[in-house]
Chain A
Amino acid sequence: MATPEAVAEKRELAGINADYKEKFGFHDPESGYAYKAPKGLSREVVESISEYKDEPQWMRDFRLKALEHFESRPTPNWGGNLGQIDFEDIHYFVRASDKNSRDWSEVPDDIKNTFDRLGIPEAERKFLSGVGAQYESEVVYHQVNEKLEAQGVIFTDMDTALREHEDLVRQYWATVIPPNDNKLAALNSAVWSGGSFVYVPAGVKVEMPLQAYFRINTENMGQFERTLIIAEEGSDVHYIEGCTAPVYSTDSLHSAVVEIVAKPSSRVRYTTVQNWSQNVYNLVTKRAVAEEKATMEWVDCNLGSKLTMKYPSIYLLGPEAHGEILSIAFAGEGQHQDAGGKIIHAAPRTSSSIFSKSISKDGGRSTYRGLLEVADGASESRSKVVCDALLLDEDSRSDTYPTIRIGENDADVGHEATVSKIGDEQIFYLQSHGLDEEEASKMIVNGFIEPVTKELPMEYAVELNRLIELQMEGSIG
């Protein structure tokens, strides 16, 4: 027999993403699409993507080599269950519109209406320095503040960057994540399309965030965007990404690659609010290098998808570099969030922290998988890893797989992990202070995730703000 507290808690939590289908899970007609590749992956498909984009030969060679890596590697058998993905049942390239506009009025009506519903143009007007909107395989809208452009900031989609800034792209391309880093990075490298390219010149501080929004519309779609951020010495930038997709009964695949180079004394923050529908496999490789005295921060929120496997990494390559990973994962019914982070201290006096919070309910599964490494020579380095898991019922599951390797005797490394359940005693204690059951449940969950949510720039986009409020405050607590 459920306790009154459990009933109240269940009522609160039942609302999480309950209105996903209405708010985010709708889909548009595809009648006006410019091109939709047939399902399946082959050399011909890869060549046709490259041909469509009129790419230089080196990029075409890069793609084909990556395809060989993808085909020669086994599917990972760790983390989540990838055995159900049928790589031949996916559209690898879908072009919804022939052009990438800098004016919303030029975006096809169906697509513009979708982004209106998601609140992107409104957020752009109010809070952002620049916006990229990717729909299916390609970016349909991109705009950046004129003042930033005048300062030399480049914020454009990756396809345009390759055409207009080829030398710069080529200098850094795949230096952080090579195509055969792992099977999914190889897949992305073979069929990548869209994503963002950000270049911030030395000393330039981008005061307001840059945002990219990724939308899948087609059924059985694969979205493979590629993002590269280069922050020159002493610069500062905050990049935010959000994503949603329609609810379908068949699966889609999202497999991105994100590379970040933080030059000396720069600061890069990369925030993700991932809210794919629960028919999307989200298999992403994200990695950053931080040079001397640079700061790199990943704020990684995983709320949606069927299965997420994502472990943002930071290589602290220069002395006194600093890295932070804030990770929150929410796993509801039918979801597996296999998330975490990796930090490698490869230089002296580097510092880092990983804070991971996960919530599992209704049989959902959350996993923290992380690596903290202090390399030989990274003397006087400091790090703290904290993993907290909250289980909301008996059917849910939480696992923690922390790996720590220490190569220096004077490293200062701490690791804490907790798994907790909302208990009757906690509810009773708060009730004794005048709260009712519902408020008590809210307060406990809010307190649990507060260290992460306080880092989210709630005001930056109406849609993301609404999402976080709905999922973290309105529904959970």
Chain B
Amino acid sequence: MLAQFLQFLFSGVTIGATYALAALGFSIIYNASGVINFAQGEFIMLGGMSAVFLIGAGIPLPLAILLAVAIAGLAGLLVEKLAIEPAKNAEVVTLIIITIGASLFIRGLVQVFLGKGTHALPPFSGDTPIALLGATILPQSLWVIGVTVVVVIALGWFFGRTLLGKAMLATSHNKLAANLVGINTRMILLLSFGLAAALGAIGGIIVAPITYTSYDAGVLLGLKGFVAAVLGGLGSGVGAIVGGLVLGIAEAMTAGYISSAYKDAMPFVLILLVLFFLPRGLFGAKLTERV
């Protein structure tokens, strides 16, 4: 009984951690610009696909990972520079639509140049499952969870302790005021895209040995990441992590205890419940409108 529960939990936490990383990317860009970046899933895919092809080209795994993150980060900067910045005076909705266009464009490029096949990345430290109280977990799952934790801590330090991070936070709280105290908000926006893309790519790479990757792998991950971000409260870092984990665990438990047929309905049930009772998400900022 416990073994079964643990197995579902492991499965949920592994998937949840990937959702959480995707959700963090959404939150960072949302904070800097108020835009929901629908190309986030594509950054995740780009990380995984780049790593696969770099390894295929004979580059050792650690270097391939670094390069893949750099490629995705660069893609993020380019999306901002070439697509978002020229439309900087447009409304948020327009910008969101632009990100959808960017995502189609990236997916199309990868499809044409890297093909439509599904690819696997070799696991970082073997394929032998680790047994724990009757349940099993793959070493790669530990990598996923571990890297997510490291990323979260690093982000916490970045936003709490560095000048640049604080500038980003300030921009998210009040763009005009941030501008007035001398923060280059345009640069912040550019950086936020690069950071979100690099984060997404890390997620895409560490899950690729478990979930495989293909040119269209980003669609679903992006969608689930978005749901996780809304669930936790858009713009909240803690919210993104909690939202991702809640979503992953809820899916696994539904598949395990109720029926796998209802598993995919779970995210939408959750999001409806949250929007009914906590419209700002679990950890969303309390908004006070001044009348």
- A is bound by B: no
A residues engaging B (CB < 8 A)? none
